[in-house]
Amino acid sequence: MGLCCSTKKQKKELTIEDFEILKVIGQGQSSKVYLVQNKEDEEYFAMKSIPKTFIKDQNQFERLQTERDALINLNSPFIVNLWHAFQTNEYLCFILDFVNGGEMYTYLNSRSQFSENRIKLYAAEIILALKNIHELGLVYRDLKPENLLIDKNGHIRLTDFGISKFIATQKANSFCGSLEYIAPEVWQHDSYGIEVDFWCLGTVIYEMKYKMPPFYSTNLREMQNKILNGNPKFDENCSVELHDLIQKLLTKDPKQRLGTKSIREIMEHTFFSDLDWEKVEKQEIIPEFIPQVKDSSDTSCIDSQFLNQPIFEFHILPDIVKMDQNMFGGFSFSKFK
């Protein structure tokens, strides 16, 4: 998704009528993401839409409010920006940066291997994103390659805060996340905190190296047993420093896991010893891989399974949904009010 931050101040609260819907570019369990263009200034954005019927039926409004509040308050070059939030009679919509370099997941499924230098920069940018998330009192809970976008300059952009949670001084206890990335304490139904994000980080770094999560199995019970009791497998092509970092992030006991005392424990690990963190934060390190995109509307790096879907929802659904619209009050937001 190329960064599409408009420099023009929007004087009004935007609605669906202010955008032309161009293509489907993503889909979640309950949401769909579109490439849209602002009709006034012709900027391109990603629009995430969630049906109100799903929010109401599944009692998900608090979770959606958390996603909205998180995106409003987060401030990192490695996290997608929320520019507007509004609603139609049928949908709640987020207008976000359109990051068009593709998902990390797509590149992990390609033939090329990630070098350790490439892994190092990606990991560092993810760590800085998590640092910002945790400083806000949030646990992210869904770190995985599908939620790691590559921007047009080759940098990481973290997206989808749909299952993030403000925990402040308390702990979380719900079982959620993508199964192959879920930490042992979550599988055991223990209460947990930000340490689960460091487990996910270790899993993602391992996957960047080996193209497969460390404990993956098509058999759910076997995968759960591996996560609770197994050890990740390494080969001679993994450096001592990377091996040690992954091992310490994938420590079963969350109290002993690297990062639990402070995220600086991870930043100061020997794997990152030659990295200038200030340059990383300022995006002054040129990534090893730069996506080949022509312009800010280029969708060539987006998975064709999404692009081939028809656009119909906003045109054929009835204009009125029989539900109490007051339950969605206070959702709207504009960064340029």
pLDDT tens-digit series, residues 110-154:
878 899 999 999 999 999 999 999 999 999 999 999 999 999 999
Q: Which of 18, 41, 97, 142 is catalytic?
A: 142
48 assigned ligand-binding residue: yes
What is the dihedral sign for C-alpha 95, 88, 305, 175? positive
pTM: 0.91
pLDDT confidence bin for 198, thresholds 50/70/90: very high
Query: How far apart are the C-alpha atoms of 71 and 106, rounded to whole Å?
Result: 24
Mean pLDDT (the chain, rounded): 90
Mark whether 154 and 264 lie in a shared domain: yes
For 14, the token pair is 């935007």
Instruction: Return the pLDDT at 9.
Output: 45
pLDDT confidence bin for 4, thresholds 50/70/90: very low
Q: What is the 3-state secondary structure (H, E, C) of 147-180?
A: HEEECCCCCEEECCCCCCEECCCCCECCCCCCHH
Mark whether 82 and 117 lie in a shared domain: no
Instruction: Return the pLDDT at 331.
Output: 87
pLDDT confidence bin for 337, thresholds 50/70/90: very low
pLDDT tens per residue across span 218-272? 999 999 999 999 999 999 999 999 999 999 999 999 999 999 999 999 999 999 9
Mark whether 317 and 252 lie in a shared domain: no
Mark whether 270 and 154 lie in a shared domain: yes
pLDDT confidence bin for 316, thresholds 50/70/90: very low
What is the dihedral sign for C-alpha 9, 15, 19, 23? positive
Query: Structural domain of residue 48, as residue ranges?
Result: 16-100+296-329
Instruction: Return the pLDDT at 169.
Output: 67
More confident residue, 318 or 155: 155
Mark whether 151 and 114 lie in a shared domain: yes
Q: Which residue has the tokens 């207008």?
A: 95
Say if 120 falls within a structural domain.
yes
pLDDT tens per residue across span 40-95? 999 999 999 999 988 887 778 888 899 999 999 999 999 999 999 999 888 999 99
Mark whether 206 and 108 lie in a shared domain: yes
Provide the CATH number for the domain around residue 308: 3.30.200.20
Instruction: Return the pLDDT at 54.
Output: 85
For 250, the token pair is 């994938």
For 285, the token pair is 């390190």
Contact at 8 Å (CB) between 121 and 287? yes
Instruction: Return the pLDDT at 10.
Output: 45
Provide the CATH number for the domain around residue 156: 1.10.510.10
Instruction: Return the pLDDT at 8.
Output: 44
3-state secondary structure of 85: strand
Active-site residue 253, yes or no? no
The stretches of the chain forming alpha helices (DSSP H) are 52-57, 61-73, 104-108, 116-135, 184-187, 195-210, 220-229, 240-249, 264-267, 277-281, 304-307, 313-316
Instruction: Return the pLDDT at 200.
Output: 98
Percent of the chain with pLDDT strictly greater than 90: 74
Mark whether 70 and 130 lie in a shared domain: no
For 268, the token pair is 């100061």
pLDDT confidence bin for 3, thresholds 50/70/90: very low
104 pLDDT exceeds 70?
yes
Mark whether 142 and 225 lie in a shared domain: yes
